[in-house]
């Protein structure tokens, strides 16, 4: 029975790798799943503070960076989990995106071995601009190399919008998964009102497993697969994390409808209440000759601040340490 379930899971993972798509977020790591599905809030039980830093297209001088901070925990008084997150995308110095949100997830035991979490999130998205060091075409004298004052006035005022999302997670034995619909409000990001830049609704689905190896239950195989669809963008991937109590090694492959296939490998280790992780992603196949091979470096810290009292009506997830 175990073998049949594992083969079924791997079959789904392989099929999703063939789907075309566009990557709209950094990937399927736990912190990103927390942002992509509010029902994941508190699903690991313990109160955990996570910090991540991503350097995008390193070594190419693009100056693209992302910072993430999140906290989530199960709260017995709420009969569910709650979380918040903050994220900043620094895009070359001219554009700066700041996101923040809070989420709640209600935990329900739907059967003897079936648990369902239903979540809702509210978030704020702020897009800011900095044109101090920008040079427009009409400022340049092609012969003299002189930079003149521009006749065009750039609006550097930022724009802030509100958004909503919802999702659910199910847990049954070693198997868990979730489905979320984000950007329900489809907010308009453009501050000028001239050029429409609407954030399309996003569908996110993931499946993962928690499989012990041997009778000692000291080593675990934790596969994960996910699909993300937003507008014309489609992204899918699948991989595996091999873990024990202190160390985790992982690899995940992802593909999109631009013809890109990327591979991410990484590791994490635990020291007391702190877990340190590192991931490196590189391109192995592309439909764009300009695509760099090195796509991102990611480093992160996770702090288990306290253990919660998990009742019999609560089941938690050991999500792969990606």
Q: What is the pLDDT of residues 223-253, one digit of tens each?
A: 999 999 998 889 999 999 999 989 999 999 9
- DSSP 8-state secondary structure symbol assigned to residue 244: -
Match 């008084």 to its residue by tokens: 77
Give the CA angle between residues 298, 259, 56 to the nearest 5°: 20
Tokens encoding 65: 């960076």
In a domain, 163, yes or no: yes
Structural domain for 13, as ranges: 2-306
In a domain, 317, yes or no: no
In a domain, 322, yes or no: no
Match 């999703």 to its residue by tokens: 16
Other CB atoms within 10 A of residue 12 CB: 14
Q: Write down the pLDDT at residue 93.
A: 74
pLDDT, tens digit only, all 322 positions of the chain: 444 444 444 434 433 433 333 334 666 776 677 888 999 999 887 889 999 999 988 988 888 899 999 999 999 889 999 999 999 988 877 778 899 999 999 999 888 889 999 999 999 998 887 766 555 555 555 555 555 555 445 556 678 999 999 999 999 988 999 999 999 999 887 665 555 678 889 999 999 999 999 888 889 999 999 999 998 889 999 999 999 989 999 999 999 998 999 999 999 999 999 999 999 999 999 877 778 899 999 999 999 887 766 554 567 777 787 7
In a domain, 320, yes or no: no
Taking the alpha carbons at both ends of the chain, their separation in whole angstroms is: 27
Q: Write down the pLDDT at residue 196.
A: 66
Q: Write down the pLDDT at residue 31.
A: 62
SS (H, E, C) 38-94: HHHCCCCCCEEEEEEEEEECCCCCCCEEEEEEEEEEEEHHHCEEEEEEEEEEEEECC
CATH number at residue 302: 2.40.160.40
Q: Write down the pLDDT at residue 21.
A: 34
Domain count, the chain: 1
Maximum alpha-carbon separation in the chain: 79
Length of the chain: 322
In a domain, 316, yes or no: no
CA distance 85 to 67: 11
Q: Write down the pLDDT at residue 141.
A: 53
97 phi, psi to nearest 5 deg: -105, 130
Rg (CA), the chain: 21
Q: Could you report the per-residue pLDDT of 75-97, keeping only the tens digit for each?
A: 988 999 999 999 998 887 777 88
CA dist 236 to 1, 36, 155, 197, 251, Å?
27, 14, 37, 24, 14
- The SS3 call for residue 158 is coil
In a domain, 318, yes or no: no
In a domain, 248, yes or no: yes
Q: Comparing C-alpha atoms, which of 31, 37, 197, 209 is closest to residue 123?
A: 37
CA dist 224 to 20, 117, 296, 305, Å?
18, 18, 20, 26
In a domain, 247, yes or no: yes
């Amino acid at each position: 029975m175990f073998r049949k379930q594992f083969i079924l899971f791997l079959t789904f993972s392989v099929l999703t790798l063939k789907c075309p798509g566009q990557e709209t977020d950094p990937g399927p790591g736990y912190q990103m799943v927390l942002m992509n599905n509010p029902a994941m809030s508190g699903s690991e039980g313990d109160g955990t503070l996570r910090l991540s830093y991503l350097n995008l297209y390193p070594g190419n001088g693009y100056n693209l960076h992302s910072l993430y901070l999140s906290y989530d925990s199960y709260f017995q008084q709420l009969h569910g989990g709650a979380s918040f997150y903050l994220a900043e995308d620094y895009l070359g110095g001219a554009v700066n995106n700041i996101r923040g949100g809070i989420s709640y997830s209600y935990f329900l035991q739907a059967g003897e071995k079936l648990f369902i979490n239903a979540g809702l999130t509210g978030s704020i998205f702020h897009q800011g601009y900095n044109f101090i060091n920008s040079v427009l075409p009409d400022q340049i004298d092609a012969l003299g190399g002189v930079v003149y004052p521009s006749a065009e006035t750039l609006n550097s005022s930022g724009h802030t919008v509100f958004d909503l999302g919802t999702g659910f997670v199910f847990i049954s034995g070693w198997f868990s998964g979730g489905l979320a619909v984000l950007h329900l409000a489809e907010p308009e990001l453009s501050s000028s009102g001239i050029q429409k830049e609407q954030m399309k609704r996003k569908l996110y689905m993931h499946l993962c497993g928690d499989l012990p190896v041997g009778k000692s239950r000291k080593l675990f195989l934790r596969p994960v697969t996910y699909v993300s669809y937003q507008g014309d963008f489609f992204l899918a991937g699948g991989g595996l994390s091999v873990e024990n109590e202190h160390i985790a090694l992982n690899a995940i492959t992802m593909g999109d409808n631009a013809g890109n296939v990327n591979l991410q490998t990484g590791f994490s280790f635990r020291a007391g209440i702190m877990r340190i992780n590192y991931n490196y992603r590189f391109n192995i196949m592309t439909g764009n000759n300009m695509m760099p091979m090195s796509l991102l470096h990611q480093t992160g810290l996770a702090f288990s601040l306290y253990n919660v009292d998990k009742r019999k009506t609560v089941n938690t997830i050991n999500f792969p340490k990606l």
